Amino acid sequence: MQKEPLIYIDGKFVDKSKAVVSVFDHGLLYGDGIFEGIREYNGNVFRLGDHIDRLYDSAKSIRLKIPLTKHEMTEAVLETIRKNQLRDAYIRLVITRGPGDLGVDPGLCKNSTTFIIVEPMASVLGPREPKVVKMMVSSYRRDAVDATSHEIKSLNYMNSILAKIEANSAGADDAILLDHRGFVSEASVTNIFLVKDGKVATPSSSAGILHGITRDRLISLCSDLGIDVAQRDVTPFELTTADEIFLVGTKSEILAVGTISGAKVGHGGAGPMTKKLYQEFSRVVQRAEEGTPVYEAESVNV
């Protein structure tokens, strides 16, 4: 019989079928918590230090106390992968406010809850071309930076879920959200890039975006390759006139946008810039210096 995956919960490893949290946990009751989605490629965890830093920044922003140091949290992630003997995986690291009462006051939650899930996931990056997706522009606006800001990677994803429901109803793969001003923000779970006349642009922080780890690496990759890349406000008009549009995220990697609300982007497939960055990023994730090795004694380096 196949062995069950092991889940890390507050310092212990339990079988998947026994991995539970309290029904009074504020992460469940109110979406009060934070998380990171992380990838392991060929025994190396890609940009783990960046993910851990972002996790602790999110925690600081919502006044959530994490009982582990960054070093201890890093080792917890690595050990969870080791326990499950995976070399290519998707990792979900979650910190909730912990059990409290039925009131919204987080001060009544005495201890946070930490759990780590790892699942086998092979990369789609490589010699093949990126997947092409159909998008639409959502009627829902991305939460403002002075509201439930997506700069915090919180468990409250209702804004994205509503946009995804709308996309499903329209027969699209996903939705692009605008910010409260009407500028382009991001897709439901990915950052967005546009290509026009050989130049690359992506929405800036003012649009209420998540500061994506893959987004940041793509920006630096463009710079490394001598490609003009700008972080700025992007208008909906630019979506309709772009030569290419692509989406990036830890789990999604790189996706080419073929259509938006039924209108073709470029020729309707992955354009030359998207293909180039897709191939270059495929090489980046396999570099040892870009990751934290899982199966070596000297693996922790935060």
Please state the pTM of the whole predicted model: 0.94
For residue 153, indicate whether it is catalytic. yes
- The mean pLDDT of 168-196, rounded to a whole number, is 98
Which of 12, 65, 153, 196 does the annotation list as catalytic?
153
End residue of a domain, out of 120, 146, 171: 120
Whether 161 is in a domain gets the answer yes
Cβ–Cβ under 8 Å, residues 100 and 26: yes
Residue 60 in this model has a pLDDT that exceeds 60: yes
97 and 227, same domain (yes or no): no
194 and 115, same domain (yes or no): no
CB neighbours of 215 closer than 8 A, spacing ≥ 6? 191, 193, 202, 209, 248
Domain count, the chain: 2
Range of the domain at 19: 6-120
Per-chain mean pLDDT for the chain:
95
Using a pLDDT cut of 70, give the percent of the chain over it: 97
pLDDT grade for 31, boundaries at 50, 70 and 90: very high
CB neighbours of 243 closer than 8 A, spacing ≥ 6? 195, 196, 197, 266, 271, 273
Residue 298 in this model has a pLDDT that exceeds 60: no
Cβ–Cβ under 8 Å, residues 133 and 265: no
Q: Which CATH number covers residue 26?
A: 3.30.470.10
pLDDT grade for 2, boundaries at 50, 70 and 90: low
70 and 173, same domain (yes or no): no
Whether 270 is in a domain gets the answer yes
pLDDT grade for 302, boundaries at 50, 70 and 90: very low
